Amino acid sequence: MFERHKANPIITPRDVAPSQPNFEVVGAFNAGVIRVEQETLLLLRVAERLRERDPHAILSPRYNAEGQLEIKRINRDDPNYDTSDTRYATDRRTGQIALTSISHIRLARSHDGVQFDVDAHPFLQAQGRFETFGVEDARAVQLEDGCYINYSAVSAYGIATGLAKTTDFRAVERLGVIFPPANRDVVIFPEKIRGLYWCYHRPMPDGFGGYHIWSATSPDLIHWGDHQVVLQASANGWEAGRVGGGAPPLRTEHGWLSIYHAADQHNRYCLGAFLTPLDDPNRIIARSKTPILAPEMAYETEGFFGNVVFSCGALLLGDQVRVYYGASDESIALVDFTLSGLLAQLDAP
pLDDT in tens, 138-148: 999 999 999 99
Say if residue 322's pLDDT is above 80.
yes
Average pLDDT (77-100) is: 91
Say if residue 107's pLDDT is above 80.
yes
Average pLDDT (117-129) is: 96
Convert the pLDDT of each residue in 164-175 to its tens digit: 999 999 999 999
Convert the pLDDT of each residue in 262-302 to its tens digit: 999 999 999 999 999 999 999 999 999 999 999 999 999 99
CA geometry: angle at 212 spanning 29 and 192, to 5°?
Answer: 80
Looking at the chain, the whole-number percentage of residues with pLDDT higher than 90 is 92
3-state class (DSSP) for residue 77: coil
Which residue would you say has higher pLDDT here, 67 or 304?
304
214, 228 Cβ separation under 8 angstroms: yes
Average pLDDT (296-324) is: 97
Output the pLDDT for position 65: 81
Average pLDDT (302-323) is: 96
Say if residue 35's pLDDT is above 80.
yes
The C-alpha atoms of residue 45 and residue 136 are separated, in whole angstroms, by 6
DSSP assigned state of 20: S
Output the pLDDT for position 255: 98
CA geometry: angle at 83 spanning 311 and 128, to 5°?
Answer: 60
Output the pLDDT for position 1: 77
Which residue would you say has higher pLDDT here, 294 or 88?
294
Looking at the chain, the whole-number percentage of residues with pLDDT higher than 70 is 100
Confidence of residue 349 (pLDDT cuts 50, 70, 90): confident
The C-alpha atoms of residue 95 and residue 90 are separated, in whole angstroms, by 6
Confidence of residue 208 (pLDDT cuts 50, 70, 90): confident
Average pLDDT (202-225) is: 95
Evaluate the omega torsion of the peptide bond into residue 182 and state whether it is cis, within 30 degrees of 0. Answer: yes
Output the pLDDT for position 213: 98
Average pLDDT (92-105) is: 93
Output the pLDDT for position 342: 96
Which residue would you say has higher pLDDT here, 52 or 14?
14
The C-alpha atoms of residue 255 and residue 337 are separated, in whole angstroms, by 17
Say if residue 67's pLDDT is above 90.
no
Mean pLDDT of the chain: 96
Confidence of residue 100 (pLDDT cuts 50, 70, 90): very high
- Picking from 85, 22, 31, 129, the residue whose alpha carbon sits closest to that of residue 306 is 85
CA distances from 26 to 52, 58, 127, 159, 285 (A): 13, 15, 21, 21, 40
Supply the pTM of this predicted model. Answer: 0.95
